[in-house]
Amino acid sequence: MRQVVLDTETTGLEVRQGHRLVEIACVEMVGRRLTGRYWQTYLNPERAMDEGASQVTGIRDEHLVDKPLFADKVDEFLAFVDGAELVIHNASFDVGFIDAELARLGGAYGRIGDRCNVLDTLAMARERYPGQRNSLDALCKRLGVDNSRRDLHGGLIDAQLLADVYLAMTSGQVAMDLAFEQPQESAASMAVDAPLILRGRPRVLRASAEEAAMHEQRLDALDKSAGGVSVWRRLEMPAEAGSA
């Protein structure tokens, strides 16, 4: 499955007050792996930034005067996301702004939901961690994702962090997803209590050198977040070392 993790920055918080997009950033995942492909642009919003938005993003009006209009980039943007599942944190906010920009161009472009399914990681986090803070920073801390580069809110770095958060938050679903892809047995066959027969030796899959290196990098990040040896690192230690 192709997914695009998306984040936007805007001139203010209320699309109904005429606030506009100033940045769109997307990173691509295929089969739950980051491909290295991304798409990002700043936009001239044709209006002033709110001071609060400028303080959060670091983006000032003078940074945007020579940037393209949304109309200049819309076809390029839609070509990148078309047919993908969009992974967005607080999706109603970003989708609302994108749909408002599309509406300004007339009815030919429709809505972003006409082209993409949308997965809201904020709704997912609230269901998984009820009663807790579920901002992107809070999720990074909870899930061991290194967000030390995030001094200011920026579309591309936030999209990259959200991709890591989403993968960490859904890592336990991989086996379930694979199971759902198998053909479903009939109700009659499922009711039969038949013995399990293995035909041949089970195949053992071992991590490649690249996968092992990526695993070590993730453990290093978890150790850094924990301020010592994380629980996942302890699980890999021999029993006598872990009890020391």
Query: Against a cut of 0.75, is the pTM above it?
Result: no
153 is catalytic: yes
All residues at 6 or more sequence positions from 244 whose CB lies less than 8 Å from its CB, including other chains: none
Element (H, E) at 167: helix 155-169
Helix (H, G, I), strand (E, B) or coil at 115: coil
Tell me the residue length of the chain: 244
- The domain ranges of the chain are 2-170, 209-238
pLDDT tens-place values along the chain, 244 residues long: 999 999 999 999 999 999 999 999 999 999 999 999 999 999 999 999 999 999 988 899 999 999 999 999 999 999 999 999 999 999 999 999 999 999 999 989 999 999 999 999 999 999 999 999 999 999 999 999 988 876 556 788 899 999 999 999 998 654 333 333 333 433 333 333 334 444 444 444 556 666 666 667 676 766 666 666 665 656 565 544 444 4
Residue in 162, 176, 180 with CA at minimum distance from that of residue 121: 162
Which homologous superfamily does the CATH classification assign to the domain defined by 2-170?
Answer: Ribonuclease H-like superfamily/Ribonuclease H (3.30.420.10)
Strand partners, 193: none
* 8 Å CB contact between 154 and 9: yes
Given the residues 19, 63, 89, 153, select the one marked as catalytic: 153
CB-CB contact of 79 with 64 (8 Å): no
